[in-house]
Amino acid sequence: MLLPGDKIGLHLRGGYIFPTQKPNTTTEASRKNSLGLIIALDYKREAKGELYWDDGNRLLATIIHDNYTDPDKLTFTDITILGMDKEPTNFTVSLNYATTPISNVVYTESTKVVNITDLKGLVLGQAFSIQWDLPVSDLQKFNCFPEQPAVSEESCRERGCLWEPTTVPGVPTCFYDTIPNYTASNIQYLPTGITVDLTHLTASEAAQATVPPPSSRDKLPPPAAAAKAASASDTLSAAIGSLRLSLIGRPAMIPYWALGFQLSRYGYQDDYEISSLYDAMMAAQIPYLPGFTFRDMFLSISTRLPSEYLYGFGETEHTAFRRNISWHTWGMFARDEPPAYKKNSYGVHPYYMALEEDGSAHGVLLLNSNAMDVTFQPTPALTYRTTGGILDFYMVLGPTPELVTQQYTEVWPDLPNLYKAHVAFPDFLRNSTAAWWKREIEELYRNPREPEKSLKFDGLWIVNLGSRGQGLSSQTLCMESQQVLPDGSPVRHYDVHNLYGWAQARPTYEAVQEVTGQRGIVITRSTFPSSGRWGGHWLGDNTAAWDQLKKSIIGVWAYPGSSPGGEGAGVLFNRTGADICGFFGDAEYEMCVRWMQLGAFYPFSRNHNTFGTRRQDPVAWDSDFETFSRKVLQTRYTLLPYLYTLMHKAHAEGSTVVRPLLHEFTEERTTWDIDHQFMLGPAILISPVLENGSGNESIGEWKVLEAPLDHINLHIRGGYILPWQEPAMNTHS
């Protein structure tokens, strides 16, 4: 504290009201001057105080509390309010049943001080009140009643929140005040960061505390430790709770053959149909290959964002690469749900990447396996709400988008080993289940009792959502199913539901390698952060439609070896792709051509559809379609050495294979919103046609390139050398 020679440090304690009087040369003269008040608000915006007043001399006095009449008719003329965190408006004074506006009010934002001057008629001894409004802008309203959008004012105020009607879509009518409901104490600065004890304030201690007080089950364990530690120069971790989980890891290095084009559909009648399709593909010379709240069951925390450029969160379908932050909420809870707008789907990835105004990038992962949602608002800000677990945040600091991804993969996963008590689904979190699963896979591959029935696979495709294909209430295990930690303590399926697919991927991948003696691949349906270490992913049961064609670019960016900014960001996969031409519905000719052209550059390139739909493989249409498909797939196979090198860099460095333009050209703000083109590594730009009847594709601000039906535009970046190879009918050849 700077104290020059003319200063002495005086400190007013928050929560108190101090009566003042204009000074004079003597106390007798001072007593005749006007009075004032200094109101020092505490963190709850409350203060209280007392004034004792008499003639200053009389030996005996009778103490009264009301109806005092001052012989000098002293008045209050000035009021100073300290600690006003928001600018107040509409000041009025109420005196003798009359309310009068106050005009002489000055608010200083930098010091949070309100000065009211030249008040009239406020005589000492008379009752009066000063009132004002504390307006809250829509951008500062964080939903206090997310479970009931049409909440009543009574219910809102019972929860201790503010209520204000609105006609603006998405803006909550019930929202938090800025008064905290936790206090920090025992702050300790450590070599790796700081630790803080958080103490929950009761309803009488904080205006926003929930009424009635939380049950013993819902109480914050007193106190909770909040740690913020710098584990490396470019990675930060912050956790609230008692359980720590670590994460991610780099994707496994895949076998070269896995880069080939794959073709599959439900409904092949027999081996003859498959072999006939194989022969037709050979004849056509087409390459082939198959607010902050912490309770037991509700945690909520809000954070401001540096800009509106936010990418990530999934697995859910999005219409644009950049997230729409205009009051949108996205749920995350793994379930067997085909891609659809705002529907939570197969995997859970509570991760985002943000761009700051200067182009710097950072990433944030909330490592929590409970059901949750996130709400974006144009403040810009986001709110996390999770139904349990802990708030375990990991931050990677970039500063470039590509470095964010690489840093994200430098931390390795170590989630707990769990096992269930009595359930109907294999528990892949249990070591004995993993061993059993490997034996089953080996039995399938070798079948020593009946070798002629063995199946010599190269990789496995697993559907692993614990689903029975019925309504939501029966699509998974009972949330109260008990599991047991290695130390014997119980844990609910409620808390580990989203880990089911993650837990199967690792033993499956290890079993494939053990029984085949090769690298192998696993394509997994349900994912969680770090699943990319052991498997690839396909984007699920999409629809044969033009909009799904475009959205597939955003989806592939989720998992790439791709950017952490896409649909399921937070899991780095070097094997991802959409079902080319769509899974549900009958594909249309031109759309399927354009999708074959786009899909040829997915890391996982596969044409796949369901029962009862028309065939959509390259030889199911006409000779022109065969030519279009052959041309683009031969281009893919020509570039396999380059693509394979990108796969190795993803495995060794954690870099991306498929990436948005902003990863390479962050300094160009135009690229921050581009989601209709993409890069293969740093050197190839792909500009697909994504609209029906479009014969050209606009590039940048000034180029329009022709794109007839047999053509997709590829652009090679200057300054790079691309390895290539003459294409053949399969990756082995």
Strands 174-175 and 713-716, bridge-based pairing = unpaired
pLDDT at 202 > cutoff 80: no
Do the domains 256-290+416-628 and 16-133 match in fold? no
pLDDT at 384 > cutoff 70: yes
Domain boundaries, the chain: 16-133, 256-290+416-628
Looking at residue 411, its pLDDT comes to 55
Sign (positive or negative) of CA dihedral 551, 553, 557, 560 = positive
pLDDT at 446 > cutoff 90: no
pLDDT digits (tens, 9 = 90+) for 582-619: 888 999 999 999 999 999 998 888 888 888 888 988 88
The residue count for the chain: 733
Looking at residue 173, its pLDDT comes to 93
Beta strands per DSSP E along 322-411: 328-332, 349-355, 361-366, 372-377, 381-386, 391-396
- Sheet with strand 128-133: strands edge to edge: 98-101, 89-95, 128-133
Assigned token pair, 613 = 């739909």
Average pLDDT, the chain: 79
Quick check: 116 and 128 in contact, CB under 8 A?
Answer: no
pLDDT digits (tens, 9 = 90+) for 37-89: 999 998 778 899 999 888 777 777 777 877 788 888 899 999 999 999 888 99
pLDDT at 13 > cutoff 70: yes
As a whole number of angstroms, the distance between CA 295 and CA 389 comes to 9
336 vs 332, residue with greater confidence? 332
Q: How far apart, in Å, are the Cα atoms of 390 and each of 200, 317, 387?
A: 16, 26, 10
Residue 411, Cβ density class (10 Å: 0-12 exposed, 13-18 middle, ≥19 buried): buried
Cα 239-244-250 angle, rounded to 5 deg = 100
As a whole number of angstroms, the distance between CA 597 and CA 630 comes to 10
460 vs 358, residue with greater confidence? 358
pLDDT digits (tens, 9 = 90+) for 341-383: 777 777 888 889 999 999 999 988 898 888 889 999 998 999 9
Q: What are phi and psi of 16, to 5 degrees?
A: -125, 150
* Residue 30 region by backbone torsions, left for phi larger than 0, else alpha for psi between -120 and 50, else beta: alpha
Among 127-141, 310-324, 666-680, 694-708, the range scoring the smallest mean pLDDT is 694-708
**At a CB cut-off of 8 Å and minimum separation 6, what does 385 contact?**
146, 298, 299, 300, 372, 373, 374, 375
As a whole number of angstroms, the distance between CA 556 and CA 618 comes to 22
**At a CB cut-off of 8 Å and minimum separation 6, what does 224 contact?**
197, 198, 240, 241, 294
Looking at residue 697, its pLDDT comes to 61
DSSP 8-state assignment for residue 623: H
Among 30-34, 107-111, 190-194, the range scoring the smallest mean pLDDT is 190-194
16-133 CATH fold: Immunoglobulin-like (2.60.40)
Superfamily of domain 256-290+416-628: Glycosidases (3.20.20.80)
What number is the average pLDDT over the span 301-328?
A: 86
Sign (positive or negative) of CA dihedral 19, 24, 26, 30 = negative
Among 5-19, 140-154, 331-345, the range scoring the smallest mean pLDDT is 331-345
Cis upstream peptide for 399 (omega within 30°): yes
As a whole number of angstroms, the distance between CA 33 and CA 25 comes to 11
**At a CB cut-off of 8 Å and minimum separation 6, what does 488 contact?**
none
Assigned token pair, 215 = 């049950």
Q: How many helices (H) and strands (E) does the chain have?
A: 11, 39
As a whole number of angstroms, the distance between CA 677 and CA 371 comes to 33
Amino acid at 195: T
Looking at residue 18, its pLDDT comes to 95
> For 96, how many CA atoms within 13 A lie in the half-sphere containing its CB?
5
pLDDT digits (tens, 9 = 90+) for 161-181: 899 999 999 999 999 887 777
pLDDT digits (tens, 9 = 90+) for 610-636: 888 889 888 889 999 999 999 999 999
Q: How far apart, in Å, are the Cα atoms of 450 and each of 354, 567, 651?
A: 55, 44, 38
pLDDT at 670 > cutoff 70: yes
As a whole number of angstroms, the distance between CA 570 and CA 582 comes to 25
